Structure 1
Amino acid sequence: MQFVRIDGVTIAYQVTATAPDSPVLVLINSLGTDSRIWHLVVPKLAEDFTVVTYDKRGHGLSDLASPPYGIGDHVADLVGLLDHLEFSDAVLCGLSVGGLVAQGLYAQRPDLVKAMVLADTAHKIGTPEMWSRRIAAIEEGGVAAILDDIMGRWFTEPFRRPDNAAYSAYCNMLLRQPVKGYTGTCAAIRDADFTEEARTIRVPVLCVVGDQDGSTPPDLVRSLANLIPGAQYEVIEGAAHIPCAETPAAFAAAVRSFIINDVKDRDHDGQAS
C-alpha cells in the first residue's frame, strides 16, 4: 500500500501490474468497503492491465477529511491520484457509489477516461428520503444497526451462511468503517443525479450487475445502460451487489472481455482515433 496527500487529504492506494505499459484500469470501491473488496479480481486482471486500487476518503486507510461529502469530493481525490501517478486514458471500473464517482469524473475530466465499467450502479441511486433515513439510523445505532439489511443486499443467501469465513470478513469490513465516513458518503449518493450526464457519455461503457443485487437491481442498471449511447449490459449469475467478491472469476472475465474486445484506442476528446 502507498499513500499520497491530495489537497491535504491522505489517500491510500496500490498499483499492481505484471506487464509494462499495459492499459490502466482503476477500480473504485463501493460504500462501506475499501480496496480489499477487489483482492480476488486484481490477480486475474493484473496480467493484462495496470490495476489501480485505492480507498475513498472516509474509508479504509484514507483520511476522513470533512464529511459530509459530495460526489465531487470523491472525484477530486481520484483526479488528484491519477495526476499524481501520471495516468490518463484510463478505464474506470466503479462499483455502486464508485460508479457515480466514475460518471462524475467523466463529466469533469473526459480526457482522463478511455472507457468505463459501471458495476451494480445507476445514474441515480435511491431517494433523498431513503438516504436521510439511513444516515439517521446509523447516527443513532451505529453501522451495526443496519448490518443484516445491508448484507442481505450485498450477498446472496448461499454466500451468507455462518460457516463462510469470507462472509464474516466482509461483515467486519463494514462494521469497521468510520461512521462519519459512511454517512458522509451516504450524503454524497443522496445528492447525486447523473441522469443528464449519462446521455452525453461518448466512450465505451459496460454496465454489469449481479442477478440478485438488492441495492441496485438489474432493471435499474439496465436503465442506466439505456441512457448511455452504445452501452453494453451484462448480468452475472449467482451474485448480488458485490460480484467482485462473490463471483470474482465471472466479474474479472466480463471486465477483461469488454476491455480487450470492445474498447478501442481513442483520442483524449473521446472520439475514435
Structure 2
Amino acid sequence: MTENITSKDGTTLAVDTIGQGAPVILVGGAFNDRSTVAGLGAELAPAFTVVTYDRRGRVASDDKSDDYRVANEVDDLAAVIEHVGGRASAFGHSSGAVLVLEGAMRGLPIDRVAVYEPPYCADENQPRPAADIYDRLTALVAAGDRDGAVELFLHEAVGVPAEAIAGMKAGEGWAFLADKAPSLPYDVLVSAPWQVMPFDRLAAVGVPVLAVYGDQTAPNLAEGTKAVAAAVPGAELQVMPGEDHGVLQRPAALAQLLAKFLG
C-alpha cells in the first residue's frame, strides 16, 4: 500500500507498508528508491511491518527545500517514524545506513539500528574524494547535467574507473541512475566521505546497533562498517560470506540476519 505523507518542510514522501508485526523502516542508499529495498521488505514482511519510502528528490517523493541539508532527510525519517506510530527500528544500506545512524545520533525514536556497509571514511589515510565534490555535484545538478553528476559521483565518491563508467553509460540501467542524479548531493552530504567519520557522536548512540558487511566488498566499506561496530557501545558486527555492496539484489540471507537482530 502506497501513501503520501508530508515532511516538516512540506516535502511529500511516497511510503509503502507491507507485513505485520513490529515496524521496521528500510532506507536505501545512492541510486536507490523504495523499489530497490522491496525484495528485502518482502523477506521480512511475514514477521514485521515493513516500511519503505522514496528519499526526497527521488521517484515519487519531491523536495520542497531550497537547499541540500542533512537535517532535511533526518526530518523525513522522523516523519516516516511518526507515520508508523511514533517508534520503529531502522535498517539502512550504504548512505541510507549513515542516514539511519544520523537519525539515532540526533535522538529520533528508533529502537534498533541495523546498517549495511555505511560509506564512512574510517581512517584519514584512506583514499577519499576532495572536499569540493559536494559543490561540484550540486553545480552539475543545477545545470541539469544528470549524466555528469552520475559520472562524478561514481568516479570520485564510489571509485568506479572511467572506462567502467563508459560501459555503464552504454547499458540499459543508466537511465535509472540518471533519474536519481538530483538526490546525489544528499548522499555525499550525509556520508561526508571527504572527512573522517564522527567517532565521538557514534560513541553516544544508546540503542542496539548491528553493523554488517560482505567479505567481497571494497576494503573501505568493510573498514567503515567495522569502525561503526567498534565506536558504538555494545554494537554487533557480522560478516556475510560471498557478499558485496549489491546485497539488496540477493536479500534472503541478509533478511535472516536482520530478523534475528530485530526480533
TM-score (norm 1): 0.76
- State the partner residue of 2:176: 173
Shift of 1:215: 8.4
Shift of 1:95: 1.2
- State the partner residue of 2:7: 6
* Separation in 2, partners of 1:180, 1:41: 25
* Separation in 2, partners of 1:105, 1:188: 11
- State the partner residue of 1:223: 227
Q: Is the 8 A contact 2:30 2:187 kept in 1?
A: yes
* Separation in 2, partners of 1:29, 1:55: 8
Asked if 1:214 is matched to 2:218, the reply is yes
* Separation in 2, partners of 1:244, 1:67: 32
Moved more, 92-101 or 63-72: 63-72
Q: Is the 8 A contact 1:33 1:60 kept in 2?
A: no
Residue 241 of structure 1, aligned match among 241, 245, 249:
245
Asked if 1:117 is matched to 2:114, the reply is yes
Asked if 1:197 is matched to 2:201, the reply is yes
Give the root-mean-square deviation of aligned CA atoms: 3.2
Shift of 1:172: 3.7
* Separation in 2, partners of 1:25, 1:215: 29
Shift of 1:175: 2.0
Residue 257 of structure 1, aligned match among 253, 256, 260:
260
* Separation in 2, partners of 1:197, 1:176: 33
2:35 partner SS: helix
- State the partner residue of 1:78: 77
Aligned-partner residue type, residue 120 of structure 1? E
1:257 partner SS: helix
1:180 partner SS: helix
* Separation in 2, partners of 1:241, 1:11: 26
TM-score (norm 2): 0.78
2:30 partner SS: coil
Q: 1:253 to 1:83 in 2, by over 3 A?
A: same
* Separation in 2, partners of 1:135, 1:201: 31
Q: 1:253 to 1:201 in 2, by over 3 A?
A: same
Shift of 1:237: 2.8
Q: Gaps (5+ residues) in structure 2?
A: 123-127, 161-166
1:41 partner SS: helix
Please give the per-residue CA displacement for 1:162-208, whole angstroms capped at 9, x wherever unaligned: 9xxxx955x4431211x332234433433885321110122211101
* 1:17-36 equivalent positions in 2, closer than 5 A: 17=19, 19=20, 22-36=21-35
Q: 1:103 to 1:67 in 2, by over 3 A?
A: farther
Q: Is the 8 A contact 2:57 2:183 kept in 1?
A: yes
Aligned-partner residue type, residue 246 of structure 2? I
* Separation in 2, partners of 1:106, 1:70: 17
Deviation >3 Å, runs of 4+: 122-128, 130-134, 136-151, 191-194
Shift of 1:40: 1.4
Percent of matched pairs sharing the same residue: 22
Q: Gaps (5+ residues) in structure 1?
A: 156-161, 261-273
2:36 partner SS: helix
* Separation in 1, partners of 2:214, 2:7: 33
* Separation in 2, partners of 1:199, 1:91: 19
* Separation in 2, partners of 1:148, 1:131: 8
